[in-house]
A and B are shown apart, each in its own frame.
Chain A
Amino acid sequence: MSDSENQQSSGFQSSGSGRGKKPFGRRSAGGIAIVVLLAAYGFAQPKLNERFGWNLPGLKQDRGGQVVVEKSDHRNASDKSSENTKSTDLKYQPKSSQSTSGSSSVDKQSGNSASSRPGDSAKASGPLASRMSPKKSSADTSKNNSTRGSPPAKQSAKPSNTPSADNDLLYGLLRDTGNKRYVSPSGLMYTPGSAEGHRLEHLRRHIVDNKSRPVHGVFDGEMEDALKVIDMAYERAKKNQKTTKSVDKGMTVYTVDMGKRIGFVGGQKGQRNRNQMARRVKLVLSGNRVITAFPL
Chain B
Amino acid sequence: MSPKHSIDFCPICGGGLCGVRICGIQPQSENVAVQNQYDTAHGLIVCDECEAIWLEPDVSTDHVYPDCENAACPICNASLWGENSRWANADDIEALGWTAAINHDLDINPDQEIA
Contacts and interface: CB of A to CB of B under 8 A. Distances in A.
A249 interface: yes
B14 A282 contact: yes
Interface string B52-71: 10000000000111001111
Interface string A153-194: 000000000000000000000000000000000000001111
B68 A291 contact: yes
B81 A215 contact: no
Given A214-B105, A251-B65, A291-B50, A195 B15 contact: no
B16 A249 contact: no
Interface string B1-37: 1100000010011111100000000000000000000
Chain B interface helix/strand/loop/mixed: loop
Given A215-B15, A248-B12, A251-B65, A195 B109 contact: no
Contacts of A193: 68-71
A253 B50 contact: yes
A253 B12 contact: yes
A43 B70 CA distance: 50
Interface residues of B, number: 26
A230 interface: no
A3 to B, nearest CB: 43
Given A251-B12, A284-B13, A212 B2 contact: yes
B96 interface: no
Interface of B: 1-2, 9, 12-17, 48-52, 63-65, 68-71, 81, 105-106, 108-109
